[in-house]
Amino acid sequence: MMTLGIIEEWSEEGFKHAQALGLHAVEFCYNIGNDPSDLAALVPSIKEWSEKYDVKVLSMGRWGTDKIAPDGSVIEEELRNTYNLIDICAELGCPVFNLGVNYIEEKTFFENCDFAVAFLKKAVDYGKTKGVKIAAYNCDWNNFVREPKAWAAILGRVPGLGIKFDPSHCINSGTGKYLEEINEWAEKIYHFHIKGTINIGGDHVDDPPAGLDMTDWRQIMGLLYAHHYNGMLSIEPHSAIWKEGALAEWGVRYTIDYISKMIFTG
């Protein structure tokens, strides 16, 4: 069964806000510049907030960091950070950790694939020991493992590696064929972002709440059901226009109402 949730801060207010929205799941995006040891220190509090507000942590991720050095070697410090965040996932009962791998421009695509495989195998193998699945996000923020060309070259070489899929990234910086990508790669999708987007004439205009955008969410949900997806659907408020003021809360609630009507609750 799919679970609707939202990206929130790792604070009591984040859990309280999710509960107020009628949601029971949150995602943490613990991105570049954040020290995993700071989050580790909050684990006891996060467990308390999760129980108090009946809101689970169902996804965590780290965007933007370099995993590969210019010579193609694994950056050990970031590998340790990845392991530490996977440990936190395990402690919190969070089933999915999302990451990306940077591209070394001086190297060929296939060399970069080899570098990515070296890092991702370590992350996936470690995740397996902790009961945490690893997914490559399909965003281009310091990451090239984000589209079918890279998935075809890498996923088969890293058993257990999955995909965190966001149709807006496919529309804005990929092929635009998000329905085809979901249909072909659905068995590898471990986590799904709910974020709207509008492009006109090939130009990106804005990322409004899902349901007020160009994305065909009904077909997306139909495909997810067809492929038995049962993970989290994570709402990602993204546009500056919709992040503050009266529009922010109204936009999130609009998306919750819109998507909830397509979620089977048994």
pLDDT in tens, 150-194: 999 999 999 999 999 999 999 998 789 999 999 999 999 999 999
pTM of this prediction?
0.97
pLDDT at residue 266, as a whole number: 84
pLDDT at residue 174, as a whole number: 76
Where the chain has pLDDT below 70, the residues are none
pLDDT at residue 148, as a whole number: 97
Residue 30 identity:
Y
Distance, CA of 105 to CA of 118 (rounded, Å): 18
pLDDT at residue 173, as a whole number: 87
Distance, CA of 27 to CA of 6 (rounded, Å): 6
The dihedral over CA atoms of 218, 223, 224, 225, expressed in degrees to the nearest 10, equals 90
Q: Sketch out the chain's domains with CATH numbers.
A: 3-260 (3.20.20.150)
Sorted by sequence, the CB contacts under 8 Å of residue 124 that are 6+ apart come out as 134, 158, 159, 160, 161
pLDDT at residue 243, as a whole number: 87
Q: Indicate the SS3 state at residue 240.
A: helix
Distance, CA of 161 to CA of 109 (rounded, Å): 19
Q: DSSP class of residue 232?
A: E
